[in-house]
C-alpha cells in the first residue's frame, strides 16, 4: 500500500520504506552512540544520519529505557529548546520528529520549532491531552503499543496472545484518534516495551497483521535487548543482528525503520527493493 504523510505541508510518499534516525539529547539512553551532549556532537550526529540516508531525525529528550527515571517536563523542554533550533534551522530538508509522550512538549516542538511528526511511545496513555493535541497540531502521529511508563527493569507481560492484544489496542486507540480528527497515524508495535523475548519475536513473525490497521508500520528494533538477550551480545555488537531483523520487517510490510545506524538500514532497504523489484534496476 502506498501511504502518504502530510508533514507540515510537505507530502511524503512511503512507497519506498524510509529510515528514521535516532538522536537522543539525554544522558541515559541505552545506546551511547545516539546520545549528544555538545553542539558539535549534535551537528555531527545529524550530519551523519542525513548523509547515510535518514529521511526523519527523531529527537528525544526523555529516555524511557527500562529501569530509568523519567526526566521532568521542564527538563525535557529545556533539552529540546537546545537541540531543535539547530536541527530544524541547519537541516531544513529533513523531517524532524519529536519523541515525547507529553502533549505540551509536542505542542512546543511543533508550534515553536516546526517539527513535522510526534512519536509517542506511550500510545497516548501517559497524557490524556495528547490525542486532542494531535488533532490541533495536524502532524503525523506515531501510535506505539506499550504499557504505562516508566517501565521497571524487568517489565514483561504475561500475555499469551500478544499479537491479539496489540491489534485490539490499535483498534481502540485508532478509533479514538479518528473520532478526534487525527488523520495521519503510523502504528508501532512497540518492540521491547513490556514484552518478553518470545512475545517480541511473535510480533515480528506476525508483523504483517499490523497492516490491517490501514496505517503505515514503524519498526524500532535497533540494537534492542530482544537481540542482545537472544544472541548474548552487547548493544554495540548488535548491528548485523539489527540489519537481519530489518530485512525481515521489510518483508512483513514495515514502512519506516527507526534506527541508530542509518547507513546500514538504507542499504537493507536498497537490497530488499532490488530483490523484490529487479525490473527497476538500471
Active site residues: 224, 258
Report how far residue 119's alpha carbon sits from residue 151's, in angstroms, rounded to the nearest whole number.
17
Report how far residue 190's alpha carbon sits from residue 202's, in angstroms, rounded to the nearest whole number.
12
- Residues of 182-209 as b/e, b for ≥16 C-beta within 10 angstroms? bebbbbbbbbbbbbbeebbbbbbebbeb
Give the alpha-carbon dihedral of 250, 251, 253, 255, to 10 degrees: 20
- Determine phi and psi for 9, rounding to 5 degrees: 85, -5
CA 202, 204, 209, 210 torsion-angle sign: positive
Amino acid at each position: 500500500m502506498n501511504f502518504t504523510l502530510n508533514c507540515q505541508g510537505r507530502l511524503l510518499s512511503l512507497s519506498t520504506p524510509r529510515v528514521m534516525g535516532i538522536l537522543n539529547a539525554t544522558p541515559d539512553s541505552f545506546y551511547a552512540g545516539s546520545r549528544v551532549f555538545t553542539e558539535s556532537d549534535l551537528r555531527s550526529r545529524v550530519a551523519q544520519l542525513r548523509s547515510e540516508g535518514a529521511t526523519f531525525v527523531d529527537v528525544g529528550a526523555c529516555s524511557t529505557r527500562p529501569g530509568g527515571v523519567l526526566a521532568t517536563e521542564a527538563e525535557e523542554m529545556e533539552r529540546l529548546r537546545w537541540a531543535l533550533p539547530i536541527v530544524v534551522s541547519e537541516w531544513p530538508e529533513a523531517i524532524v520528529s519529536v519523541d515525547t509522550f507529553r502533549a505540551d512538549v509536542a505542542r512546543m516542538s511543533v508550534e515553536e520549532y516546526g517539527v513535522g511528526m510526534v512519536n509517542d511511545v506511550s500510545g497516548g496513555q501517559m497524557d490524556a491531552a495528547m490525542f486532542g493535541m494531535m488533532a490541533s497540531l495536524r502532524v503525523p502521529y506515531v501510535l506505539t503499543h506499550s504499557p504505562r511508563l516508566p517501565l521497571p527493569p524487568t517489565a514483561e507481560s504475561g500475555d499469551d496472545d500478544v499479537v491479539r492484544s496489540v491489534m485490539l489496542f490499535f483498534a481502540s486507540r485508532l478509533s479514538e484518534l479518528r473520532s478526534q480528527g487525527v488523520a495521519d497515524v503510523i502504528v508501532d508495535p512497540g518492540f521491547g516495551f513490556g514484552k518478553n523475548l518470545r512475545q517480541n519475536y511473535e510480533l515480528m513473525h506476525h508483523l504483517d497483521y499490523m497492516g490491517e490497521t490501514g496505517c503505515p508500520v514503524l519498526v524500532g528494533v535497533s540494537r534492542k535487548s530482544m537481540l542482545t538477550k537472544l544472541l548474548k551480545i552487547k548493544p554495540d555488537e548488535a548491528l548485523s543482528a539489527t540489519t537481519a531483523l530489518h530485512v525481515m520487517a521489510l518483508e512483513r510490510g514495515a514502512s519506516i525503520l527507526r534506527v541508530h545506524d542509518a547507513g546500514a538500514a538504507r542499504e537493507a532497504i536498497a537490497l530488499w527493493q532490488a530483490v523484490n523489484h529487479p525490473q527497476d534496476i538500471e
